[in-house]
Amino acid sequence: AAGVIQSPRHLIKEKRETATLKCYPIPRHDTVYWYQQGPGQDPQFLISFYEKMQSDKGSIPDRFSAQQFSDYHSELNMSSLELGDSALYFCASSSNFNSPLHFGNGTRLTVT
């Protein structure tokens, strides 16, 4: 069965640079969620989209922005990167708000 696809798998950036993470949801899933997970931490909700509109916003820094496109894929844009942004970034998708979330394999971002 198709799963959530995230790219890239690994990303190394320097402080103050920008990064773009991509997420391709499971086919026919119209809801996308972004989570950030620091080392030894639980996943923290950043933002979600439903039918290409932002549906919920969590602890996402103002330096980050995201959107969902017409083909339902989503991109998380991160600017002015800081060392503390180093983390695993997971995207998840679901077919509606009452359905289980399925997570992608994540993007490991390292900021040096």
Partner 1 sequence: GENVEQHPSTLSVQEGDSAVIKCTYSDSASNYFPWYKQELGKRPQLIIDIRSNVGEKKDQRIAVTLNKTAKHFSLHITETQPEDSAVYFCAPRGDRGSTLGRLYFGRGTQLTVWP
- The residues that touch partner 1, with contacts defined as CB under 8 A, are 31, 33, 42-45, 48, 50, 55-56, 58, 88, 90, 94, 97-98, 100-106, 108
Report, in angstroms and rounded to the nearest whole number, the Rg of the chain calculated over CA atoms.
13
Q: Which helix (H) or strand (E) holds 109?
A: strand 107-111
Minimum CB separation of residue 109 from partner 1 in Å reads 13
Measured between alpha carbons, how far is 51 from 53 in angstroms, rounded to an integer?
6
d(CA 10, CA 41): 19
CB nearer to partner 1: give 18 or 110.
110
Q: Between residues 50 and 73, which has the closer beta carbon with respect to partner 1?
A: 50
Smallest gap from Cβ 16 to partner 1, in A, equals 27
C-alpha 6/C-alpha 18 separation (Å) is 17
Q: How far is the CB of 87 from partner 1 (least distance, A)?
A: 12
